Every structure is written in structure tokens, then in C-alpha cells.
Amino acid sequence: MKILTAAQTRQADAATIREQTITSEALMERAATAFTGWLMARQTPAEAGEILVFCGPGNNGGDGLAVARLLHQAAYHVQVYLLPADRYSPDFQANQRSLPATVPRTTLDAAALPTIAVDALVIDALFGTGLSRPLAGVAAAVVAHLNQARARVVAIDIPSGLFADAPQPADAPVMRARHTVGFELPKLAFLLPQNAAFVGQWPVVPIGLSSQFLAQAASKLYFVDAAFLAGRLPRRATFGHKGTYGHALLLAGSRGKIGAALLAAQACLRSGVGLLTVRTPACGYDVLQTAAPEAMALTDPSSDYLSELPDLKPYSAVGIGPGIGQAESTKQVLTQLLREAQVPLVLDADALNLLGADPGLLALLPADSVLTPHPREFERLTSPARDDYHRLELLRAFCHAHGCYVVLKGAYSCLGTPTGELYFNSTGNPGMATGGSGDVLTGVLTALRAQQLPPLDAALLAMYAHGRAGDLAARNTGQAGLVAGDITQFLGPAFEELTTSKTF
């Protein structure tokens, strides 16, 4: 699905109101009903206790007032706090009139802020996507007060003080919500590590925004879920044979890091490749042949490092990097590969570090290569980022300059493309923050590129299936107990889900 800017969200509201011939107040009622439904499914009136609803002067505050009314009608105990302002939006005013007189309401005063019980449930409806500058004055004081009280804050649409799609100054006051209930679509701000402490968990609830508007909205930002990938993974042909599904070559491992080669190899085999050859230093031969008998071993003359590039003719894609180290002879292998390869390349780990250390090498990178750096590796390829938004700019610029695809790994891994799109992955869990998870991804990607999938589809499917396999694995192992090899065990089921979701 698309990720919209705050400005586009306003346009989506307007288009919905126009097309569905409803009032803006009716759309607000939908949003408030969706939010309240989410909350009531999780907290009974007894569990919730006193609910404090903090409302700002715009439509986010209007949502808050409607939520307060709906909760009150459902027998929750509600108190409303209003931010003083010069003007209030029309829908705010309408909902203020609709709030039953029996709901207590207080205008906030920075000099006499209400005492907040430790377990109080707070609804943050101060500001939403209409935020135009960092919070100051009473609003800033209220946010600081609530953050200090460590209340259980549930934000409506977005935590107050946070911009939906741009950074705010480091010292700007922002509400620290435990949950942020977003409307219809995720926001860019939700996906960036620097905002995690503000956004908390972020369920998204549908509010029936115009599907026509969403379909045609110009956005280069996407959130990749299963529906988005429907139809991208080709079904295996009834008469397919191992020659149909490509021959991958993995260049991986060095003494002490043969495990990286094994993890990538096993993941590659579990991602549908027809044939796999693994090139490791000679010290990897026995373990590779024993632990991955399905793969062909093509050992390097050197015992500890990769030192020679094999003949590339038989292969339909090459993956290089997991565990290779940065020996000079290995750098020569990479250089020769970049010069000679006529087939898709996947680069990871030390292949990226070698690239980052030598601009001459980077200049050799063939178009349509897929790179899979984690943020540190990406920094070595580019430059240190000021913040997460700047890192995305660097990602776009790098992909454009080199005509390549980059999976910037993280909790919401982000795929950058040469044409400027950014695709955020929706799957995966913190259990995958364990050595070797990235090697698994390299194996998956190399398998998909070897099967002739275009770089965009290969990268999207690999990111998603890798995370999904990690989620399925974590159901068995728990997050703490998850090791990279567990991800590989569930790649098959993850791919199966992506094919069976397709009908006809």
C-alpha cells in the first residue's frame, strides 16, 4: 500500500468527502468510531478506569471529542481536557456541541496541569497531521507533563508534536505514546527508528477513504504487505526442471566464517533455485558438503580466503559477501567479478565494505545490482546520516547514482530503487537481530535473481519472505531463541503463502 504525506492525507479526506457525498463531520465520526472500536476491544470500562482525553483545536481534537462521546455512551469514565486556542476547526466545534454535558471538561492551564495517576489511560488528540511547527506554550507543557507522568498514552492518528513525514528538531516536545492508532495507511514517521519511542505500537484502522484517490495518488513511498506482492511470485511450472530455475553461484566464507556461507547456501536452496554452486575457501569444503549436500562445492585454491574468481559462464546470478573478509586477494575477486559479470549480482557484508572503501570499485558496479547493507555498511558506502530522514535521502541518491537496488536492512527494511521509490517491508521481528540473519537474506535474493526475477520483484519478495519466515520461526522458538538457521526452515511456508494467495 502507499504511504501518503500529510498534504496528501488532507487531499484524500477531501476526495472521500466529495466522492462519497458525506460531510467532513461524518468522516470524522468514522475515524472516531474506528478508534473507539480498537480501544474498546482491548480495554473494558473497568480495565480502562478514568480515561483522560486531551484535545487540541483542530480536527485531531475533534476526533478526540467524538471519541470521548462514544466512550461515554459505552459506559467508560471520560474526562476531557481542552487546549486553549484562538480558533477551533468547524468539526471540532460541532463535536464540542455534541459532547454530553455530563462529561467533565476543563480548559488546560500550563500553571495548573492536572495530576495524572501512574496507570491513567490518556488519549492524545492534541495535534494530528495538521501540525505546522514544533509544539510550544501550553501544548508543549502538557506533552512534557504527560510524558513525565508515564501515563498509558494512546495517540489518535499520530503522537502530538510528531510530523508525519519530516523530522522535527531534536529537542521538540513530542508525546510518547504506547500505541498510535493510525487511520487507513501507515505514515512514514511510524517506520523510522528515531520515532519508535513516540509512536509505540501502531495499529492502522480503516476509515473508508476513497480507494480511487488512493489508487491514483502519486507517491514514491510504499509499505509492502502480502496484498501488495500478490501475483509477483511466479508459480512453479508443472513441467519445470532444475534447469528452469536457474543456477546460482554464491561466493562466501573465509576461515572462521564458513557458517555465513552455509547459511546463505541453505537459504538459497530453500528459495526455489534450480542449482546452487558455492565457492568457499578450501577450508570450507568438508563442512559445506556435509551440511548442504544439495549444493555443489567449488573450492578456491586458497585455504582461508577467496582468491580467484571461477568461470562465471554456468551461472544465472552471483551472490557475494557473506563472511568473505577483506583480504587483498578477496578484493581482487570482487573487482574481477564487477568487471566481468554478465549476470545479476547480489552484494552483501564485506563485499559492501570493500566497495565502500574504494570509490574506483564502486564505479564498476553493474546496473541493476542488488545491495543489502545494514545502516553501518550503508554509511561506509555513502556518508554518515544526520537522521533517519536524511538516510533515506542518501539511499535515494545512491540508488539513482549507481542504477542499483539497495535493501537498507532494519526493523522495516527499506528498498531503494534507481527511480526513487522507497519500499518499506512489513514483516520481521526483533528475534531476527541475530548474527547470520543477513546471510540468509543474501541467499534468498541470489536464488530469486537466479530464477530471472527482475531486481524489483526479487528484492521485494526476498525482504518480505525473509521477514515472514522469521515471524513464523519465532512462533516456535520465541524471539530470544531465534537463530538465523531457523529463518531458513520457514522460507518454504513463507513463499507458499505468497503463491497460494494468488487465484487464477
Ligand X SMILES: NC(=O)C1=CN([C@@H]2O[C@H](COP(=O)(O)OP(=O)(O)OC[C@H]3O[C@@H](n4cnc5c(N)ncnc54)[C@H](O)[C@@H]3O)[C@@H](O)[C@H]2O)[C@@H](O)CC1
Interface residue list for K ion (CB under 5 A)? 60, 124, 155-156, 160
According to CB under 6 A, which residues from 348 to 407 bind ligand ADP?
349, 374
State the binding partner of 374 from ligand X, K ion, ligand ADP, none, CB within 5 to 8 A by kind. Answer: ligand ADP
State the binding partner of 413 from ligand X, K ion, ligand ADP, none, CB within 5 to 8 A by kind. Answer: ligand ADP
Nearer to ligand X, 37 or 481 (CB): 37
Per DSSP, 231 falls in state T
- Does the annotation place 411 within a ligand binding site? yes
Single residue of 62, 410, 443, 455 touching ligand ADP by CB under 6 A: 410
Sequence-distant (≥ 6) Cβ neighbours of residue 212 within 8 angstroms:
15, 19
State the binding partner of 31 from ligand X, K ion, ligand ADP, none, CB within 5 to 8 A by kind. Answer: ligand X
Question: Rounded to the nearest whole angstrom, what is the least distance from the CB of residue 463 to ligand ADP in the complex?
Answer: 7
- Does the annotation place 260 within a ligand binding site? yes
Q: 441-460 mask for ligand ADP (x: CB under 6 A)?
A: x-------------------
Single residue of 284, 428, 455, 485 touching ligand ADP by CB under 6 A: 428
Nearer to ligand ADP, 357 or 433 (CB): 433
Nearer to K ion, 60 or 210 (CB): 60
Sequence-distant (≥ 6) Cβ neighbours of residue 501 within 8 angstroms:
226, 227, 230
- Does the annotation place 420 within a ligand binding site? no
* Helix boundaries (H) for 284-367: 285-291, 328-340, 349-357, 359-362
Where are any strands of DSSP class E within 338-402? 345-347, 370-371
Label the pairing between strands 275-279 and 204-205.
unpaired
- Backbone φ and ψ of 221, nearest 5°: -115, 130
Question: Rounded to the nearest whole angstrom, what is the least distance from the CB of residue 78 to ligand X in the complex?
Answer: 18
Nearer to ligand ADP, 90 or 193 (CB): 193
State the binding partner of 319 from K ion, ligand ADP, ligand X, none, CB within 5 to 8 A by kind. Answer: none
One-letter identity of residue 91: D
Nearer to ligand ADP, 54 or 412 (CB): 412
* HEC readout, 402-453: HCCEEEECCCCCEEECCCCCEEEECCCCHHHCCCCHHHHHHHHHHHHHHCCC
* Pair 455, 449: CB distance under 8 Å: yes
Question: Taking the CA of residue 231 as centre, how many other CA atoms within 13 Å lie in the half-sphere pointing to its CB?
Answer: 4
State yes or no: residue 483 binds ligand ADP (CB under 6 A): no
State yes or no: residue 429 binds ligand ADP (CB under 6 A): yes
- Does the annotation place 63 within a ligand binding site? yes
Hunting for cell 514483516 — which residue is that? 427
Single residue of 293, 430, 478, 481 touching ligand ADP by CB under 6 A: 430
Which residue ranges make up the site for ligand X (CB under 6 A)?
A: 9, 12-13, 27-28, 31, 56-63, 89, 127-133, 135, 139, 156-157, 183, 207, 209
* Helix boundaries (H) for 241-325: 258-269, 285-291
Nearer to ligand X, 91 or 439 (CB): 91
Q: Which of 4, 33, 27, 24 shows the shortest CA–CA distance to 213?
A: 4
Nearer to ligand X, 160 or 446 (CB): 160
CA distance 54 to 135: 14
State yes or no: residue 257 binds ligand ADP (CB under 6 A): no
Per DSSP, 181 falls in state E
CA distance 339 to 273: 25
Nearer to K ion, 197 or 397 (CB): 197
Sequence-distant (≥ 6) Cβ neighbours of residue 135 within 8 angstroms:
126, 127, 143, 160, 161, 172, 173, 174
Nearer to ligand ADP, 33 or 429 (CB): 429
User: What Cα–Cα distance (Å) separates residue 437 from each residue in 321, 397, 405?
Assistant: 13, 27, 19
Grid cell locating 310 = 571461477
- Does the annotation place 374 within a ligand binding site? yes
Question: Rounded to the nearest whole angstrom, what is the least distance from the CB of residue 340 to ligand ADP in the complex?
Answer: 26
CB atoms within 10 A of CB 238: 5
Sequence-distant (≥ 6) Cβ neighbours of residue 148 within 8 angstroms:
none
Question: Rounded to the nearest whole angstrom, what is the least distance from the CB of residue 377 to ligand ADP in the complex?
Answer: 8
State the binding partner of 132 from ligand ADP, ligand X, K ion, none, CB within 5 to 8 A by kind. Answer: ligand X
Nearer to K ion, 156 or 395 (CB): 156
- Does the annotation place 286 within a ligand binding site? no
Q: Which of 271, 292, 183 shows the shortest CA–CA distance to 469?
A: 271
- Does the annotation place 405 within a ligand binding site? no
Binding residues: 59-63, 124, 128-134, 157, 160, 260, 323, 374, 409-413, 438-439
Rule CB under 6 A: which residues touch ligand ADP? 349, 374, 409-411, 413, 428-430, 432-433, 435-439, 441, 466-467
Binding residues for AMP: 409-413, 438
Binding residues for K(+): 60, 124, 160
Binding residues for (6S)-NADPHX: 59-63, 128-134, 157, 260, 323, 374, 439
